[in-house]
Chain A
Amino acid sequence: MPQSRKPRTLSLNAFLHDTGHHEASWRHADSSVERVGDVTWIQEIAKKAEAAKLDAVFLADSPSFWGGGHRPHNQFEPITLLTALAAVTERIGLIATASTTFYEPYNLARLFASLDNISGGRAGWNIVTTFNEGAAHNFGLTGVPSNEERYGRADEFVNVVDRLWDSWEDDAIVADRASGVFLDTDKVHPIDHVGRYLRVKGPFNAPRSPQGRPVHVQAGSSNEGRAFAARHAEAIFTAHQTLEDAQAFYADIKSRASQLGRNADHVLVLPGISPFIGDTPAEAEELYRHFNSLTVPEYGIRQLETMAGVSLRHLELDEAVPLDVFGAAGDVLNNDRSRKQVVANIVQRDRPTLRELLHRLAGGRGHNVVHGTPTQIADTIQEWFEGGGADGFNVMPPLYPQLLDAFTEKVVPILQDRGLFRTEYEGSTLREHYGLPRPESVYAQREQALA
């Protein structure tokens, strides 16, 4: 008898970002700018996301200072912050970004394993290689290592971390009071990794975490990034401006994963979406315009320069951005720097002035910023979900908590009515929310193979 398959449903994360994703959100009259450094405020938002049954909250990160005075730039260290969020929530997943370029694998493996343990199996690691100069300068480097070098180290880093997480088999702890034997040392494995970038002996100093391994998340859709994602990622955060680009990306990732022998359903593609929600289309558009009117061009130009790695100082705000300013940025399936490609694509397609381009990017730094009624937003989500562009979304409210509330109170119920999103949590771990299996320890597999 064929197994009845559960209908496919959306995965939705709340991507946390101080007062909101819009760069000028803190200037909005209703913003909570006074509370961005207050952990209880962030805890309140996490609780709201959980009440709406979202899959996870997510924190982006870079180990560097990226502000300049024009928007909030205090960034609590994300793994400790997620631990504080774990304490006030029970089910929602907790995903933090951490860099393979600026961490040691033994330390990072411990942090995530501990978060997974403390949260009862809710941890996810957004694996990034970090290409900003500012971060390099905080770690003794004069510049950012090449793409090849960063991804080479990242590959090795992930393999080391996975082996550390696997190094105690699930049943390694005996804890037999009578004999005094705590661990079955035959089930604890040094990893003895010697590679090009890393040498790590192991074993790990903690048991396998509830999820076996915290969920591997990846963001960064360059050629190197997509190849890396196909090998390692279980969920992918990506930025697309059009359904067409999202479809091309989606099909590419799924086929790459299949070619590597992976189950394509176990690689979730989650584009970003930043929704301005109004009761009427006009109200939503006005909201969008109002936020953009609060931007400071000097800030936006600096952000764009950093994102695209080009100088824009010579451009006039109200003149069309020249087509060649971003050089040969490639396309969605062939590029060295995915966010630069997204921006170049906007310029080619829509020929905006610099001011218009800055406004396009102010809401989500290249992610898809949409405005509309709850039904229109739900329609877009459904269209991408059913049209081969997305398995779900990384939801990026322009203003926290108000526009998260608008999404959870007005859009989520529509998605639920359409049978596209859960009404209750069914599982307790992030893997269960995402429909991902719990991986077995490689060392246990090895033993089975020998037997």
Chain B
Amino acid sequence: MSRQLHLNAFLMEAGHHEAAWRLPEADPGASFDLGHYVRLAQLAEAATFDSLFLADGPVAQGTGEFRTPGQLEPLTLLTALAGVTERIGLIATASTTYNDPYNLARKFASVDHVSGGRAGWNIVTSATEQEAANFGLADRPAHSARYERAEEFLQVALKLWDSWSDDHFLGDKAGGRWGDPAELRAIDHVGKHFRVAGPLNVPRPPQGYPLLVQAGASEEGKAFAGTYAEAIFVAHQTLELAQAFYSDIKARAAAAGRNPDHVVVLPGIVPIIGSTEREAIALAQQLDDLRIPAFGLRMLAGVLEVPESQLELDAPLSPAITGRTSREGFDSRANLIIELAVRENLTVRQILGRLGGGRGHNVVVGTPEQIVEVIECWFHHGGADGFNVMGAALPSGLETFIEQVVPILRAKGLFREEYAGTTLREHYGLPKPANQYARVGAAAAG
């Protein structure tokens, strides 16, 4: 079978565009409305998307004055969505900095069981000072320390998921033996950040491990992704940059002894679709007119880690900002914004316009055919294995994509007509990982 696209529906309240909730047809209460997410999940499943995805941070994002500062907690929401869907993968973000591995490994194992093998974990380290302040820390841990903890956290989680063999269950009523104790083991992890005895109290997840997803393209992020990630969400503004990232990640995976096909790279795309180019531009303009510059300015200052007073709306970014090469927080996203601003010589006001739709993800305005052209080009030229589809307004942006773009992709043989598998790993073409504790003899025999 020829290589096909993977499509993930990135769900976000009334839409990814920061002002989407102000559109006349939008539900401004979408961020905390289960019904909104149920509708989106069912739409995406009917269109045979690989998965849906919920971003998250344990913090009120911004002040909330001009946009919702949060959504429903993602693991509970995913479980609720598992109940109203059957095949689509369910990916949620959770932080390795502000969780304990036992609690989190257990939750993802539960979601994987409840959903019949459809869970995915977007592993993040949580970038902001505001998150740290909700967890008793005066300062957030440094970027490198967060990734060091993340790596150990993941290793603990993998051990916990492997702490039950797939065949632990005996159910021997006569002998009074429910499970085989030899097939359950303590993990006795002792490391720099964690000491965890185990075993887990949930059987091995149907997928072995939930799908391991990563987002964040800093040096540490890429090193982590190359070693562990099975799917990567990433933001790129140009095909050239996407290609550079794609080949870098695939090479890192190969260097780590992995099959590069088992690392699925999914750049974000914010499609703003019209039946004519003019109509699409008008829709983009409608959204842009609803933006409140004060909101964007605050978010931009946060990502760049500078006071708002250093950002002048009608001037380009100052050399002090563009010259800075590393930050403790959203390092890769800040560099993306600076690169974009310098390359196109944008004023701060223009930058805000470019970021309003997708916070640095690629906003593509055009007809369905034009959207397909971009997708095909990136897919065939080493920029993407698929896309993280980010409706500017939801549900309308997803509906339009499904009604007008997906049929063209299918006609070209680029996207599935039906689900072939039932688990998220199967949708992404990934194997079920072997249990690290499997006995050597058993592995050789099996």
Contact = CB atoms under 8 A, between A and B. Distances in A.
A29 B75 contact: no
Contact of B113 (A34, A37, A107, A113): A37
8 contacts: A70-B176, A84-B79, A102-B103, A104-B100, A138-B198, A205-B61, A206-B73, A299-B176
Contacts, number: 209
B72 A206 contact: yes
A296 B175 CA distance: 10
B431 interface: no
B81 to A, nearest CB: 9
Contact of B80 (A83, A205, A296): A83
B173 A29 contact: yes
A69 B184 CA distance: 9
Interface in A142-188: 173, 175, 177, 180-183, 185, 188
B171 interface: yes
Interface string A299-317: 1000000000000000000
Interface in B190-247: 194-203
Interface string A95-137: 0000000111011001101110110000000000000001001
Q: B interface, how many residues as a size bin?
A: 35 or more
B264 interface: no
B65 interface: yes
Given A83-B76, A110-B73, A73 B67 contact: no
Nearest to B33: A117
A134 B197 contact: yes
Contacts of B201: 62-67, 73-75
B171 A188 contact: no
Nearest to A87: B83
Interface of A: 24, 26-29, 31, 33-34, 37, 39, 62-77, 79-81, 83-84, 86-88, 102-104, 106-107, 110-111, 113-115, 117-118, 134, 137-140, 173, 175, 177, 180-183, 185, 188, 198-207, 294, 296, 299
Contacts of A70: 176-178
Interface stretch (B20-28, B278-286, B315-323): B20-28
Contact of B65 (A27, A66, A114, A181): A181
Given A27-B176, A114-B72, A80 B111 contact: yes
Interface stretch (B42-50, B132-140, B254-262, B436-444): B132-140
Contacts of A188: 60, 63-64
Given A27-B173, A107-B99, A207-B32, A83 B60 contact: no
B75 A65 contact: no
Which of B99, B174, B179 has its CB near the most chain A CB atoms (within 10 A)?
A: B179
B82 interface: yes
B58 interface: yes
Nearest to A137: B197
Interface in B282-296: 290, 292, 295
Given A37-B203, A73-B178, A87-B84, 12 more contacts: A63-B106, A76-B202, A84-B83, A138-B198, A180-B66, A180-B292, A185-B65, A188-B60, A200-B133, A205-B69, A206-B70, A296-B176
B113 A76 contact: yes
A67 to B, nearest CB: 7
B22 A118 contact: no
A110 B106 contact: no
The 7 closest A-B pairs by CB, nearest first: A205-B70, A87-B83, A114-B73, A175-B28, A183-B64, A137-B197, A201-B133
Contacts of A206: 32, 70-73
Contact of A84 (B82, B107, B174, B290): B82
B156 to A, nearest CB: 10
A72 B178 contact: yes
B73 A33 contact: no
Given A138-B197, A296-B176, A106 B134 contact: yes
Given A203-B60, A204-B60, A113 B100 contact: no
Nearest to A78: B110
B195 A182 contact: no
Contacts of B181: 68-69
Contacts of B65: 181-183, 185
